[in-house]
């Protein structure tokens, strides 16, 4: 090994951290190196500062690494945590205060949670989940035995007295007793108490306890123990009703197939939160299992409107659509159906009531139908028109659907002996005989119940019997047979030549009801139309025709009939529900302009609207109804306002400002005093270059909130667009006064200041190039005596002429006119005379309306050249008040060098004057406000 090599090795230095030679920390080596990993090690050494700090070399190495591998981890620079030095003082103090308050609240809450008992009493202690046995350890006598250990020996004397054999025998006895006292109870655990007593708990404790019980239910639900989950959800709701607990309990009920209970819980969820997607989806699931497919589809569509990408809702909608497609309407048949639903004893009298019959007294004198209708009218719901709302069937146990008793209690029939024999034959397997016997019994019983020969309006007895038989068959669900009876009655009416349109209307309406029940919607529409031709605006034919139109998916005509029904009787709940349902369908089918495609809705005369007069409301009821209506209107308005505002904000984010303006305008129709909407709309109007409208919106916002910095800033942008740079500058200064950290306002102020200077310079240059020739008033005699001068003499005369003498101005307008005249002639003497007439304290109000840099310079020139020598005190007073004028600080920034030099010269001359009115120190303090 040569000496040079040894010397080189001895002189080579290696870094301690990454074993990188110092010679590699060089520009040339780094530039030639292409090994990114090795360059990262070099960069690490350079950043560590072990070999010194070389910022330029570090930067060079970083750029080379970035060139080779832009995604290198070495290029990532950790951002240090924020400290008090990295944030403004106010923001840091706010963050610190919020953290301290949060810490205090958490500690207080933790203390309260620790003090809160897990259970209010021993009865609320739940059993072990999934266990049907409990283990109890008792002594031989049945009493729990406490294991008290004897004291151990403490010194040698005690150990000498210690009997080992005796102690071992005691231990064996305890073990034997304990093993024999274990009792295994294989009975069912005690039921979980489903209601907790929370009268002594605070609101915070109730929230904690309700969440705890809900979490227990969630754990039980996950394990598949739905009964226990149901119990815990019920406990949670007994403490504090919440949407989450109702939703979870509904899901547990669905798992247990308690469909009606689940539906009730879903309804409560939607009462608390109408747009709850989970509640709608679970209600749709329940409706699907109950067979209400259309209602389920409506709920799923509502879910997809809220969450368009909900996969569960899409899957459920596909299933419902398949089931709807598979559902085929039943064909009309003459088979008999038993008690589909309960109807009134005399269907025709309900028809008279719905059609607005006013001759109730004459009807009662005729007897029969009117009496029966009057007897049943008290138990009838107003919305049960045309059997649109189904009633529960009587079961023969006293439940008569609200009529005070079942039909079984009304008539008592003794079955014949043949029927008893047929019943005995059933025990021997003779099913045919049994069916015949039941049919015979049913016919005899029905014949004994109904008087088929009862009179029916003005119809002849044969037609009245046919009508009564049709009513009787309709009640029993035999719609095909009822259609035959009503058809015979209608044909007989035409042949008999009876003149009673009201009775014929009832026959057509009743037959239409049978067609509707049998699924024959076309014939139902035909009969309802004929009934309405006989008795216009009759309620039941309208309602039945609307239902038939809806079943045929002719939604527009159905909508018109339902709205007509509501004009006649607003209490028909079936019409309200159908209108809401059809409205959603028409919106989906025809879009927002769906109303334009509707047929004309007829106007119902007052005589038809008032046939169901209600008793006048009391003052308390009227006031309560008005309050509810006001609250509902306010709620709807608030919801619409939030929707419009949200849509407007979304349009702004997407850059669709014209549409956003429309949404914000809708918001202001609902809430005209919402400052935020005005500022938002002003932003959109500025983006659309509609600056005058944006300025009006900002003015409205500032009238509501005088310190709103957004309104000031956006009005400044509007003024900038209108090229009113002075007003723009004033608004930007107000923004900075309210919040000095608004960087956008600072940048805009600099830009607007430069624009204002340019505009003032452009406006002033033409005025300096031209010179106005004043017109002086002279006497006629003076004009006649004056000889005609030559052109030179005339020009000199014009130049030396003075305008009309200055008088004391009465207001700011006269002051401005006089000042403009003096300035146009560059007459500082006239300006000085004007300033003599004006009190110093009124000068700021007089000059503020037309204050600019040239006006201030002209006033300074007049004060320095005309008034300073004669009246220095007046000059000082004017200067002491002039700087308080509006926008003075803005105009002061726009003065050029010559004007500033002239102002400095004025204060130098003023400080050299000795006066009793002011001192040199006063002049110096005043000069600081100008210079």
Q: What is the pLDDT of residues 734-776, one digit of tens each?
A: 888 888 888 888 888 888 888 877 877 775 554 444 444 344 4
pLDDT grade for 907, boundaries at 50, 70 and 90: confident
Degrees, nearest 5: CA angle 24-30-34: 115
Identify the band that residue 447 occupies on the pLDDT scale cut at 50, 70 and 90: low
pLDDT of residue 808 exceeding 90, the answer is no
- Cβ within 8 Å of residue 373, ≥6 positions away: 344, 346, 349, 350, 352, 353
Q: Looking at the DSSP assignment, which residues form a beta bridge with residue 136?
A: 183
CA–CA separation, 408 and 399 (whole Å): 10
- What pLDDT is recorded for position 929? 82
Task: Tell me the DSSP string of 632-663.
Answer: HHHHHHHHHHHHHHHHHHHHHHTT-HHHHHHH
In tens, the pLDDT along 704-737 reads 999 898 999 999 999 989 888 888 888 888 888 8
Tokens at residue 471, please? 């009513």
- The end-to-end CA distance of the chain, in Å, is 82
Mean pLDDT value of segment 584-606: 85
* C-alpha separations of 516 from 210, 388, 560 in Å: 50, 11, 19
The rounded distance, in Å, linking the Cα atoms of 648 and 766 is: 48
Pairing of the two strands 134-137 and 182-185: antiparallel
User: HSE-up of 97 (CA within 13 Å, CB side)?
Assistant: 6
Instruction: Look up residue 644 and give its two tokens.
Output: 């419009």
Alpha-carbon dihedral sign for residues 522, 527, 530, 535: negative
- Do 660 and 648 form a contact (C-beta atoms < 8 A)? yes
Partner residues linked to 185 by β-bridges: 134
- Contact criterion met (CB below 8 Å) for 200 and 153: no
Higher pLDDT, residue 856 or 348 = 856
Q: What is the pLDDT of residues 489-516, one digit of tens each?
A: 888 887 777 778 888 899 899 999 999 9
> What average pLDDT score do residues 441-452 get?
59
Q: What pLDDT digit, counting tens, does each position of 82-123 carry?
A: 788 878 888 888 888 999 999 988 888 777 766 655 544 444
The arithmetic mean of pLDDT across residues 547-570, rounded, is: 89
The residues that bridge with 184 in the sheet, in sequence order, are 135
- Tokens at residue 22, please? 């110092």
The SS3 call for residue 629 is helix
Give the number of other Cβ atoms within 10 Å of residue 768's Cβ.
9
Least confident residue range of 83-97, 190-204, 522-536, 854-868: 190-204
Report the share of the chain in percent with pLDDT over 70: 72
How many Å is the Cα radius of gyration of the chain?
49
Evaluate if residue 626 carries a pLDDT over 70.
yes
Which of 347-361, 423-437, 520-534, 872-886 is the most confident on average? Answer: 520-534
Say how far apart CA 280 and CA 270 lie, in whole Å: 7
pLDDT(678) > 90? yes
User: Is the pLDDT assigned to residue 297 strictly greater than 80?
Assistant: yes
Give the C-alpha separation, 369 to 367, whole Å: 6
Return the percentage of the chain with pLDDT > 90, whole number.
15
Q: What is the mean pLDDT of the chain?
A: 75
**pLDDT at residue number 541:** 92
Across-strand partners of 21?
14
Indicate the range of 51-60, 77-86, 234-243, 771-780 predicted with least confidence. 771-780
| Its pTM surpasses 0.75 | no
Residue 21 DSSP symbol: B
Count of residues making up the chain: 931
The pLDDT value recorded for residue 129 is 52
Top-confidence range, 122-131, 346-355, 576-585, 851-860 = 576-585
pLDDT of residue 341: 44
CB 185 within 8 A of CB 127: no
Task: Check residue 519 and give its pLDDT.
Answer: 87
- What are the tens digits of pLDDT across the range 881-891? 888 888 788 88
Judged by DSSP in three states, 535 sits in coil
**Rounded distance, CA 42 to CA 24, Å?**
8
Indicate if the pLDDT at residue 19 is higher than 90.
no
Distance CA 868, CA 278 (A): 85
pLDDT at 802 over 70: no
User: pLDDT, tens digit, for every residue of 341-398?
Assistant: 444 433 444 444 434 333 333 333 333 333 333 333 333 333 333 444 433 333 333 3
Looking at 223-310, list the stretches that DSSP marks H as alpha helix, in order from N- to C-terminal side.
226-239, 243-255, 259-272, 277-290, 293-306
The segment with the largest mean pLDDT, out of 15-29, 413-427, 703-717, is: 703-717
Tell which wins on pLDDT, 623 or 774: 623
């Amino acid at each position: 090994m040569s000496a040079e090599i040894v010397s080189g090795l001895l002189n080579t230095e290696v870094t301690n951290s990454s074993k990188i030679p110092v010679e590699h920390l060089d520009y040339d080596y780094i530039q030639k190196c292409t090994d990114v990993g090795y360059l990262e090690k070099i960069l690490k050494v350079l950043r560590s500062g072990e070999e010194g700090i070389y910022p330029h070399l570090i930067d060079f190495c970083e750029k080379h690494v970035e060139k080779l591998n832009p995604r290198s981890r070495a290029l990532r620079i950790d951002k240090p945590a924020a400290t008090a030095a990295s944030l403004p003082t106010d923001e840091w103090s706010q963050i610190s205060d919020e953290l301290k308050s949060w810490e205090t609240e958490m500690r207080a809450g933790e203390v309260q949670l620790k003090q809160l008992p897990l259970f209010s009493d021993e009865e609320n202690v739940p059993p072990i989940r999934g266990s049907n046995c409990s283990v109890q350890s008792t002594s031989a006598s049945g009493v729990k035995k406490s294991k008290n250990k004897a004291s151990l020996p403490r010194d040698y004397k005690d150990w000498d007295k210690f009997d080992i054999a005796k102690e071992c025998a005691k231990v064996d006895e305890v073990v034997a007793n304990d093993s024999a006292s274990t009792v295994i109870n294989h009975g069912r655990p005690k039921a979980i108490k489903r209601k907790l007593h929370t009268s002594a708990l605070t609101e915070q404790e109730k929230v904690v306890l309700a969440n705890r019980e809900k979490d227990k239910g969630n754990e039980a639900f996950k394990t598949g123990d739905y009964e226990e989950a149901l119990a815990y959800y019920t406990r949670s709701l007994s403490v504090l009703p919440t949407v989450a607990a109702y939703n979870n309990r509904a899901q547990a009920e669905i798992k247990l197939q308690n469909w009606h209970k689940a539906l009730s819980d879903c309804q409560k969820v939607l009462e608390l939160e109408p747009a709850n997607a989970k509640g709608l989806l679970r209600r749709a699931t329940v409706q699907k299992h109950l067979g209400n497919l259309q209602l389920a589809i409506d709920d799923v569509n509502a879910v997809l409107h809220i969450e368009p990408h909900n996969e569960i809702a899409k899957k459920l909608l596909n299933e419902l659509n398949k089931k709807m497609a598979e559902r085929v309407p039943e064909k009309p048949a003459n088979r008999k159906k038993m008690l589909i639903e309960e109807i009134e004893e005399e269907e025709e009298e309900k028809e008279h009531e719905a059609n607005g019959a006013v001759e109730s007294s004459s009807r009662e004198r005729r007897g029969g139908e009117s009496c029966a209708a009057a007897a049943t009218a008290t138990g009838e719901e107003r919305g049960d028109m045309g059997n649109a709302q189904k009633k529960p069937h009587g079961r023969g146990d006293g439940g008569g659907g609200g009529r005070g008793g079942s039909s079984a209690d009304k008539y008592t029939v003794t079955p014949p002996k043949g029927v008893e024999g047929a019943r005995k034959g059933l025990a021997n397997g003779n099913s045919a005989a049994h069916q015949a016997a039941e049919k015979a019994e049913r016919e005899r019983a029905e014949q004994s119940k109904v008087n088929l020969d009862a009179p029916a309006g003005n119809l002849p007895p044969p037609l009245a019997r046919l009508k009564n038989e049709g009513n009787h068959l309709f009640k029993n669900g035999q719609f095909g047979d009822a259609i035959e009876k009503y058809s015979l009655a209608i044909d007989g009416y035409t042949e008999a030549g009876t003149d009673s349109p009201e009775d014929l209307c009832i026959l057509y309406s009743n037959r239409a009801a049978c067609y509707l029940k049998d699924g024959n919607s076309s014939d139902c529409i035909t009969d309802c139309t004929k009934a309405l031709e006989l008795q216009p605006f009759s309620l039941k034919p309208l309602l039945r025709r609307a239902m038939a139109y809806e079943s045929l998916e002719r939604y527009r005509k159905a909508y018109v009939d339902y709205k007509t029904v509501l004009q006649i009787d607003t209490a028909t709940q079936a019409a309200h529900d159908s209108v809401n349902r059809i409205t959603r369908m028409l919106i989906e089918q025809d879009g927002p302009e769906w109303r334009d495609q509707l047929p004309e809705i007829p106007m119902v005369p007052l005589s038809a609207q008032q046939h169901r007069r209600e008793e006048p409301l009391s003052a308390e009821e009227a006031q309560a109804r008005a309050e509810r209506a006001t609250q509902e209107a306010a709620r709807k308005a608030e919801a619409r306002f939030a929707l419009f505002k949200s849509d407007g904000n979304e349009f702004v984010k997407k850059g669709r400002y014209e549409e956003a303006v429309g949404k914000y305008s809708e918001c202001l129709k609902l809430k005209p005093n919402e400052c935020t909407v005005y500022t938002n709309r002003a932003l959109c109007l500025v983006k659309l270059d509609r600056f005058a409208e944006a300025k009006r919106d900002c003015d409205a916002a500032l009238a509501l909130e005088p310190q709103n910095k957004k309104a000031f800033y956006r009005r400044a942008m509007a003024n900038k667009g209108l090229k009113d740079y002075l007003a723009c500058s004033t608004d930007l200064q107000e923004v900075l006064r309210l919040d000095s950290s608004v960087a956008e306002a600072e940048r805009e102020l600099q830009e607007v200041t430069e624009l204002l200077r340019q505009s003032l310079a452009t406006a002033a240059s033409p005025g300096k190039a031209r010179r106005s020739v004043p017109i002086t008033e002279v006497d006629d005699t003076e004009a006649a005596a004056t000889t005609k001068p030559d052109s030179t003499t005339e020009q000199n005369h014009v130049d030396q002429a003075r305008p009309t003498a200055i008088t004391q101005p009465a207001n700011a307008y006269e002051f401005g006119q006089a000042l403009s005249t003096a300035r146009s002639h560059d007459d500082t003497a006239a300006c000085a005379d004007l300033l003599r007439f004006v009190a110093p304290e009124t000068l700021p109000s007089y000059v503020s309306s037309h204050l600019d840099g040239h006006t201030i310079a002209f006033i300074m020139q007049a004060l320095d050249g005309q008034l300073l020598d004669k009246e220095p005190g007046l000059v000082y007073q004017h200067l002491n008040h002039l700087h308080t004028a509006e926008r003075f600080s803005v105009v002061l920034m726009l003065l050029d060098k010559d004007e500033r030099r002239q102002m400095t010269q004025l204060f130098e001359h003023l400080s050299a004057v000795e006066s009793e009115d002011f001192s040199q120190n006063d002049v110096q303090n005043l000069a600081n406000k100008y210079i």
